[in-house]
Structure 1
């Protein structure tokens, strides 16, 4: 995404909060804009600063992270040691986009953040969404394959949306669109032949050219 996504970390243990913040800063396209140790601190911060994503523990000194997530008009991940079914279901009912059971490796949170960034990319813009795009966004968020079959026009639209105003390789476009690299290469080549996208070659140190695709008039 072109805009850096802003994250608030809420955990009463400063050491754990620092670990979560480090994972956020290691994820491309994200930055930590604040940390809070209580529900009250989090509410004050949310009222005064724009936040895209809330990472909240459940058990806080003055309240419940799930209740905080439900009351906040912000996307949220719940990060908690609670692994009982009622708690997990309550978090999902409250709208949590992910539930990570502590302790977990840093790479797990980084992977979820990457999925979230791509989910946000698919759901960006002001135009209406097709069912294919809604399904695509949810599949990316949950680490699943996109529902099949997807029509050619829908796949091409996903690739065009991934390109946006930039210039991407087939691999990069495939990752953003949530399709296979082979599918992206095949469709982008066909779209280049028809003039729907433009392509140029970039030569690296190995001398093997890389195809870069963009929308015409970029």
Structure 2
């Protein structure tokens, strides 16, 4: 289980991110901090019996300090904790400094749950690979480890496909796959032809794959599974 600390001065944002974490496997919120000083105290000098923190979801703007201040202090103290910046700040210099200080991700507000989920799942994959590695790594293993934190760039939907519907189909495949175009269409109340177009786009963009479904006489039916 990955222990998460949420750091943000907005109560609604803390509540939202907590609800997002609760929808993910392998993560749990063990601390919520509304300011930079509270975050440093909880991470660096926790009370006796407090859960250790593995990952900090860190805002960049707070009344008593910036996320950069928190990140600099954590690195100066060699705190064994990973950081994902979650902020509305888009300034290139801030992004550069955050990356230079070793943040695993930089996520710009506002965003929907699927984006949040993808970044956290990328981090979980990276952490699992780190813990599984032992001895001398090959170049391929090093490349795979570094690429685990790089978000995949999804292909833009072709003309005639709606980004909103694409997100719905993506979520359906994640939840119910492997699934046929007919089954997806029935759940989302759309035509089978339309569902198949969206599913084929997911395959073309590398986000899903086709798998055969056997068990019936004749040609096997095509199913789609999230990669």
Q: TM-score, normalised by structure 2?
A: 0.60
Q: Distance in 2 between matches of 1:56 and 1:181?
A: 31
Following superposition, the deviation at residue 126 of structure 1 comes to 6.4
Q: 1:18 to 1:141 in 2, by over 3 A?
A: same
User: Is residue 2:17 matched to residue 1:20?
Assistant: yes
SS in 2 for 1:71: helix
Q: Distance in 2 between matches of 1:114 and 1:122?
A: 12
Following superposition, the deviation at residue 125 of structure 1 comes to 4.1
Following superposition, the deviation at residue 6 of structure 1 comes to 0.5
Once superposed, what is the RMSD of the aligned Cα atoms? 2.7
Following superposition, the deviation at residue 71 of structure 1 comes to 2.5
Partner in structure 2 of residue 213 of structure 1: none
Residue deviations 1:107-163, cap 9 Å, x none?
Answer: 211110101111111111462233222210111211359xxxxxxxxxxxxxxxxxx
Partner in structure 2 of residue 136 of structure 1: 144
User: Is residue 2:2 matched to residue 1:5?
Assistant: yes
1:63-212 alignment, distance < 5 Å = 63-72=65-74, 73=79, 74-125=81-132, 127-128=134-135, 129-144=137-152
Gaps of 5+ in 2: 154-177, 179-206, 210-214, 217-227
Structure having the higher Rg: 2
Q: 1:181 to 1:121 in 2, by over 3 A?
A: farther
Q: Distance in 1 between matches of 2:133 and 2:104?
A: 22
SS in 2 for 1:96: coil
Partner in structure 1 of residue 27 of structure 2: 30
Q: Distance in 2 between matches of 1:69 and 1:133?
A: 28
**Alignment size in residue pairs:** 151
Q: TM-score, normalised by structure 1?
A: 0.62
Partner in structure 2 of residue 53 of structure 1: 55
